[in-house]
Structure 1
Amino acid sequence: IFHLAGIVSGEAEANFDLGYRVNLDGTRALFDAVRLAAFAPRLVFTSSIAVFGAPFPDVIPDEFHPTPLTSYGTQKQMSEALLADYTRRGFFDGIGIRLPTICVRPGKPNKAASSFFSGIIREPLAGQEAILPVPRSVLHTHASPRSAVNFLIHAAEIDGDKVGPRRNLTMPGVAVTVGEQIEALERIAGAEVAKRIREQPDETIWAIVKGWPTRFEARRARELGFAAEKNFDEIIQAHIEDELGKTVA
């Protein structure tokens, strides 16, 4: 069973009741339905790096304690605890994967506070203007949709005994600044495409983003066979190939 449903970060912060009803109550309802069905499947849950809160070390180790600073992160952390306890009790065999920001997301922007990370790549490549609401110095960790799918598949197949009792894993990714994202876009698509990004500060988004973690060790996940891109150029190339149907030289 793959549990990916949820209210995203910006919306969970804006709508307190909805975020808890969907992200926490909905998750527990699903977990209880599985428990009552009594067939103990592998259950893969998509958590988030939002479970971590500042202050941060330069690189966050696997032992770093989750102290979320948003309602969304709190809801995800509570769900992680439920997953570990239901696994301990034998109701299912759960694996929680803390996803970095998935970039470049296909389709239209959503209400996630992180939506701009994809927008500043996706929209310029489509010939449209993109809004950048935070400083170019913001450092963040990303993985492509390709990697996200591979994370899910690997989590479904991995030996639970090798994971041990700590069932929630921080996934690997590429840590870059927003400025480095834009530089990668310019290298691949040209300066004119990169000029379609317009800087327009948004204090609401900035208040959320500046409390997010930046770099992760992700040692446990790597040792268990999870892998992501090596640089942000590869993430853009994956988007161009998978969503725009073009081959990147």
Structure 2
Amino acid sequence: MHILIIGAAGMVGRKLTDRLVKDKTLGGQEISALTLVDVVAPAKPAGFAGAVETITADLSAPGEAEKLAAKRPDTIFHLAAIVSGEAEADFDKGYRINLDGTRFLFEAIRQQGVQQRYAPRVVFTSSIAVFGAPFPDKIDDEFFSTPLTSYGTQKAIGELLLNDYSRKGFFDGIGIRLPTICVRPGKPNKAASGFFSNILREPLSGQEAVLPVSPEVRHWFASPRAAVGFLVHAATIDTARLGWRRNLSLPGLSATVGEEIEALRRVGGDKAVNLIRHEPDATIGKIVDGWARDFDASRAESLGFKAERSMDEIIRAHVEDELGGKIGG
């Protein structure tokens, strides 16, 4: 099996690569080749016996999607995107990367199948940002998409394209709406949701963090560990079970910022909590106010998708996976 990961240098892309290398198989098939693509050079994974190709490319640039589709991979993970805050701040870049890149990829796959049958599994990472207020208490998969950000709009269009290209048989697609991934390792990025991780990650390493919103803000979370599990499961699921609805809201945990902080206290103590400094940011607050807070993910759960049940679990996963089980700077 040949697997293509677009966005392989990102946090989730790197962790997905590591998981596939460790597992050596996907859906019972041996992984013989990996093609890893990003706008910065992805690292070659250690310990993989098959062929590995790393490519530095912008999916939205003319001709790049065609080159990747010409390799005819069996499974394609499309993770590439710019994040919410950046897409909102730079309208042109957001549509070029998040929409044009996605459409170019889907169309390149379709063209590969014109001469000779080719219909790979395509896993597209969407977002809960496709939904906009006003919200019910819990959002299910039947709730209408009315995104209130450019990022959410770009992802919603990608979902519609994935449905249509799958309906026509051009590829076998599944779109997964990821919760906000927390705790993200590394340094803060330009995502408006970044503070959800920052207020846990930095204090756990003995560093100060800024909280730009009220502790009453509620959001939908899953860990990086769960995100990789989502992707692997999406690549192997029987898509006939999806029917014509190819996009899913995935399981997660609904929690307030205050509940995050109390879980941090239980895991890291008062010393960690005291490193959080509250500095309200009206711009971030406005963006966050338009985000969904809780979901009914029973459809995805019935299909075998799983996530954490508590914020303590999410924090402990970060401590185990990123901090070697140790807390503090």
TM-score, with structure 2 as normaliser: 0.75
Q: Secondary structure at the match of 1:190?
A: helix
Identity of paired residues, percent?
68
Identify which of 104, 108, 111 aligns with 1:36: 111
Q: Which has the higher contact order (CA 8 A, sep 6+)?
A: 1
Q: Which residue of 1 aligns with 2:80?
A: 5
Counting only pairs closer than 5 Å after superposition, residues 25-174 of structure 1 correspond to structure 2 as 25-38=100-113, 39-174=118-253
Shift of 1:226: 0.3
Distance 2:249 2:215 in 1: 25
Give the number of equivalent residue pairs.
248
Shift of 1:124: 0.4
Whether the 8 Å contact between 2:264 and 2:312 is mirrored in structure 1 is: yes
- Distance in 2 (alpha carbons) for counterparts of 1:29 and 1:152: 21
Q: Which amino acid aligns with 1:85?
A: D
The farther-off stretch of 218-227 and 29-38 is: 29-38
Letter paired with 1:19: G
Instruction: State the secondary structure of the residue aligned to 1:113.
Output: coil
Write the distance in 2 (CA, Å) between the matches of 1:61 and 1:147.
20
Alpha-carbon distance in structure 1 between the residues aligned to 2:190 and 2:154: 17
SS at match of 2:254: strand
Kindly indicate whether the alpha-carbon contact (under 8 Å) linking 2:140 and 2:249 is maintained by their aligned counterparts in 1. Answer: no
Shift of 1:247: 6.9
Distance in 2 of aligned mates of 1:49 and 1:204: 19
Residue identity matched to 1:177? T
Q: CA deviation at 1:32?
A: 1.0
Whichever structure has more helix as a proportion of its residues is: 1
Tell me, yes or no, if the aligned pair for 2:183 and 2:314 is still in contact at 8 Å.
yes
Q: CA–CA distance in 1 between the matches of 2:148 and 2:319?
A: 34
Gaps in structure 1 of 5+ consecutive residues: none
In the alignment, residue 152 of structure 1 is paired with which amino acid? Answer: L
**C-alpha contact 1:62 1:219 (8 A) present in aligned 2:** no
2:219 is paired with a residue whose SS is strand
Please give the secondary structure, in 1, of the residue aligned with 2:265.
Answer: helix
Question: What's the offset of the Cα at 1:84?
Answer: 0.3
Q: Which residue of 2 aligns with 1:204?
A: 283
| Unpaired runs of at least 5, structure 2 | 1-75
Report the aligned-residue RMSD: 0.9
Secondary structure class of the residue paired with 1:46: strand
Deviation string, structure 1 residues 4-54 (Cα, Å, up to 9, x no partner): 000100000000000000000010001111111221000000000000000
Moved segments of 4+, more than 4 Å = none
Partners of 1:165 and 1:107 in 2: CA distance: 38
